[in-house]
Structure 1
Amino acid sequence: MLRSVQGIVLRSMDYGEGNKIISLFTPELGKVGVMARGAKKVKSRHAAVTQLFTYGDFVFFKQKGQMGSLNSAEIIEAHHALREDLHMSAHASYLVEMTDRMLGDEEGSAYIFEQLKAGLMAIQEGKDMQIVVHLYEMKMFELAGYLPVTDACVSCGETTGMASFSPAMGGTLCTRCRYKDAVALPIGEGTYKLLKLFPRMDMRRLGAVQVKDETKNQLKACMRAYMDVHIGVQWKSRGFIEQMEKYNI
């Protein structure tokens, strides 16, 4: 069957002497593997459109249970900047790696597609990469069914006075309940406001936010710990980001 879809390239792998296999994320079909014959060749019409992060129109032939074969493609947004800047590339890679590893094959989600598309564009436009990543992580938690409780105390239901975040208990704790998790992470008012906002916020509405370093550090600690406890995946791209942070690259 011939399919015509918009898609974002999540992975691009060399195959054989001149071919590439790409993993496309599409709103209708979810993740789809597609063979792009001859795409490794410099003069190939498919060379540019099969690069990582590329957003475009793709036409491919696919039979049930088999890999697709690319017929034609047109670039909508090449995202050159995401591949040329080390920090942008690392953070954009984390977005596509989460999408690739947390969605099953042919598991479509138009909403997640729009969030990823907006996230990549936000990084390219120079918006705060850390905030973009944390907002997208929250979308992934929701998709996986592990959305943390951030609008009230996860223990007693109190809606004011949040003092800490407990990855193990699954959300925020108020001042009266923070003793229930000795290793819960302390959070300030700014961190709590963002944790509460993220589940309801659409990536397409993200503006040029200004967040204090202390708030960003608390937020990073909360989101990474929650990811490790509930998702438990060793993210290659996040590991690279952590190395850059460690050595101030």
Structure 2
Amino acid sequence: MLYRVEGIVIRSMDYGESNKIVTLLTKTNGKAGVLIRGAKKVKSRHSSLAQPFTYGEYQYFRSSGLGTLNHGEIIESHHDLRMHLDLSAYASYAAELTDRTLQEEEPSGFYFEQLKACLSALGEGKDPQIVTNLYEMRVLDLAGYAPELEECVSCGNRVGPFKLSAHAGGILCTRCGSRDPSASQLTEGAYKLLRLFKGMDMRRLGSIAVKPETKAELKLHMRALMDAQLGLHLKSRNFLDQLDKLV
């Protein structure tokens, strides 16, 4: 069968001497594995279609298993994301996170739009950590693990201050905070951002100025939620951590 889809390259690997296999996040068909013949050759007309983060239109044949590219057109290359080490690291994390949390042929229209907006925001120069934390929240939401941030997950109290219990998947009030010794205190600034992120579409993200100390706290909270709820070990996140140590 011949497929024609809009897709974003979320994984690319060498195959043989001159070919590449890419994993596409498509707008209509979930994830799709596609063989791109000759993509490793410098003069190949298809080499750019196999680059990570490329957004394009892909036409491929597939009867079962892996598809084979017939034709493709680039819509947005995201060249800058590959040329800057820090942006490449954040984009790689978003791509790997998407690949690991989305199942094969799972409906992906909204997922596709969120990743597309995430990569665009990184390319537009928006704060990469804020962009990434928002995308993490969207992934948690799409995976069914969005945190409860309106009321205490233990007693239903809506009056703060609160702690965040990553393992319980939400906030704990002062009366219930002792139920989770690992729960971390939420400052007002971080709490407001988490609540904002929970309901925000990536496509609506504008320019947000966040204090360094609030950003640091936000990163810790999102890291705790991702580890407790998804438990993924991602090479791209380890690389991001190494970059942070160099700053």
TM-score of the aligned structures, taking structure 1 as reference length: 0.96
3-state SS of 2:48 partner: coil
Q: Which residue of 1 aligns with 2:241?
A: 242
Q: Which residue of 2 aligns with 1:140?
A: 139
* Whole-angstrom CA distance in 2 between matches of 1:114 and 1:151: 26
Q: Which residue of 2 aligns with 1:39?
A: 39
3-state SS of 1:56 partner: strand
Structure 1 outlier segments of 4+, above 6 Å: none
How many positions carry a matched residue from both structures? 247
Q: Which residue of 1 aligns with 2:172?
A: 173
* Whole-angstrom CA distance in 1 between matches of 2:62 and 2:68: 6
1:106-121 equivalences in 2 (<5 Å): 106-121=105-120
Q: Which residue of 1 aligns with 2:57?
A: 57
Residue ranges of structure 2 left out of the alignment (5+ in a row): none
Displacement of 1:17 in angstroms is 1.0
Amino acid of the structure 1 residue aligned with 2:18? G
3-state SS of 1:145 partner: coil
User: Contact (CA 8 Å) 1:26, 1:108: kept in 2 or not?
Assistant: no
Displacement of 1:172 in angstroms is 1.2
Q: Which residue of 1 aligns with 2:4?
A: 4
User: Contact (CA 8 Å) 2:25, 2:108: kept in 1 or not?
Assistant: no
Q: Which residue of 2 aligns with 1:198?
A: 197
* Whole-angstrom CA distance in 2 between matches of 1:162 and 1:148: 16
Amino acid of the structure 2 residue aligned with 1:47? S
3-state SS of 2:47 partner: coil
Q: Which residue of 2 aligns with 1:155?
A: 154
* Whole-angstrom CA distance in 1 between matches of 2:75 and 2:207: 24
Q: Deviations over 1:142-179 (max 9, x none)?
A: 22221111122212222231321111211112222222
3-state SS of 1:17 partner: coil
Displacement of 1:247 in angstroms is 2.5
User: Contact (CA 8 Å) 1:162, 1:192: kept in 2 or not?
Assistant: no
3-state SS of 2:65 partner: coil
Q: Deviations over 1:54-100 (max 9, x none)?
A: 0001111111x321010011100000110001110000111100110
Displacement of 1:8 in angstroms is 0.1
* Whole-angstrom CA distance in 2 between matches of 1:21 and 1:162: 50
TM-score of the aligned structures, taking structure 2 as reference length: 0.97
Greater mean deviation of Cα atoms: 49-58 or 163-172: 163-172
Q: Which residue of 2 aligns with 1:97?
A: 96
* Whole-angstrom CA distance in 2 between matches of 1:157 and 1:124: 41
Asked whether 1:17 is paired with 2:31, we answer no
User: Contact (CA 8 Å) 1:30, 1:107: kept in 2 or not?
Assistant: yes
Q: Which residue of 1 aligns with 2:222?
A: 223
RMSD (Å) for aligned C-alpha atoms: 1.1
Displacement of 1:131 in angstroms is 1.1
User: Contact (CA 8 Å) 1:162, 1:172: kept in 2 or not?
Assistant: no
User: Contact (CA 8 Å) 1:135, 1:198: kept in 2 or not?
Assistant: yes
Q: Which residue of 1 aligns with 2:81?
A: 82
3-state SS of 2:49 partner: coil
Q: Deviations over 1:120-148 (max 9, x none)?
A: 00001010111111111111112222111
Q: CA 1:112 to 1:162, structure 2 compared with 1: closer, same or farther past 3 Å? A: farther
